[in-house]
Amino acid sequence: MGSQAPVAVSASPLVDDRSAQGVFRVARRVFVEAEVLDCEQREIFGKCWLYLGHESEISTPGDFLTRSVVGRSLIFARNKDGDVRTFFNTCPHRGAMVCREKQGSASLFRCFYHSWAFDLDGKLITRPGDESYAENANAHGEHNLVRAPRLEAYRGLYFINFDRDAVDLSTYLGNTKEFIDLVMDQSPEGMEIVGGTQEYGFRANWKLLAENSMDGYHGAPTHATYFDYVMSTNGGLGDTVVQISKPHDLGSGHAVVEYGAPWGRPIAKAVQAWGKEGEDEATALRASLTQRFGEARANRIAYTNRNMVIFPNFVINDIMAITLRTFEPVGPGQMRVNAWALAPKGEAPESRQRRLYNYLEFLGPGGFATPDDCEALALCQEGYANAGEARWNDISKGLNQERPSIEDEVQMRAFWREWSRRVEGKQI
């Protein structure tokens, strides 16, 4: 984008990357200034692929849901032929929101204001007073619902892009597909969203949650209460079967941390607290995974955890349960978060129960982890009131280390380099 960046944004470095000297810093003004957010809205949210929803949420022809993506109200629907469509939830007549329901099943969408109606492909089908309109009033689709410029999917995950000239989704996802596959291969029947959407917000800049979502450094101090609680239960923690611990810069701002951990994973890693029934279920699941993928990949699926951020604002956490999460700015110092629990189709009821318990216990808005993270990031945002004098965040941990650990900041630097490329026009 280069020359399109506002002068005030590009006048001084926002990301100070002097890796050869062991320096990587981010100016704290990027978390508080409205003009930075304006540039992000145009150069990042206006041009990157953004997660919309999972195929299981609209599994049957006629199913739909409405969803906001960076402030744009959208209809996400499956037409009568089973094809997925996405429209701006805005009537072409006077601009009223066409669909007021969160989700449901329908054969058409009808605007409350003047009763214009549209089919599941967004095409105008009825218009009261039709005889009063010119014969060619909809000759080029002017009175149809406006489709999102780009809609593409990978492994059941649907993304939209507001830039018609953007690269295709598969190219954009790049190396993240390896890790998405590790999640989506957990069931031969596919994966599904369980229990709807969890929505919450808090006072912190959106980029802080991108960092936090793959930050291994904060785990032990910030979530000490959770680890104390689990350790106090009978057999709540087991062995860390796989000792892998790696951060991965996946390119284009995407990054992941991959690691072994002592908690149970409902896909195929039991802990003592689950009893013999839980161990038997895990053994059967591992055997199935091994038959499908071989022992090495089966063990990676069963025993390794991954926290991944797909630039700019989509998180997949495959840990003691699986969460999909998006976060978007409401203002420079406030964000809105949507989260979903993902699970294998055909999962045994007992495994599903354990999974959802794990999810709510740690990952849910009222669990151990999420309130801790919200509090920590809100405290950061409060601290940025001093951004004029205390100017820089340090993100140099593990810089130039030959074998960085997940407590280092490789993954955050990957995010910030792409952010800088798009906002400041720096070629990394």
Residue with tokens 């965040």: 393
Question: Which pLDDT does position 326 carry in this prediction?
Answer: 98
pLDDT over 70 percentage in the chain: 96
CA distances from 22 to 17, 222, 249, 280 (A): 9, 26, 18, 50
Question: Which pLDDT does position 11 carry in this prediction?
Answer: 64
Question: Which pLDDT does position 402 carry in this prediction?
Answer: 87
- One DSSP character per residue, 34-55 reads HHHHHHHHHHTTTTS-EEEEEG
Question: Which pLDDT does position 128 carry in this prediction?
Answer: 94
Q: Which CATH architecture has domain 185-423?
A: Alpha-Beta Complex (3.90)
Which is nearest to 421 in space by CA: 257, 251, 214? 251
What residue ranges do the domains of the chain occupy? 50-161, 185-423
Which is nearest to 186 in space by CA: 303, 15, 356? 303
Question: Which pLDDT does position 7 carry in this prediction?
Answer: 43
Amino acid identity for residue 293 in this structure: F
Q: Which residues of the chain have pLDDT under 50?
A: 1-3, 7, 428
328 beta partners:
336
Q: Does domain 50-161 have CATH number 3.40.50.300?
A: no
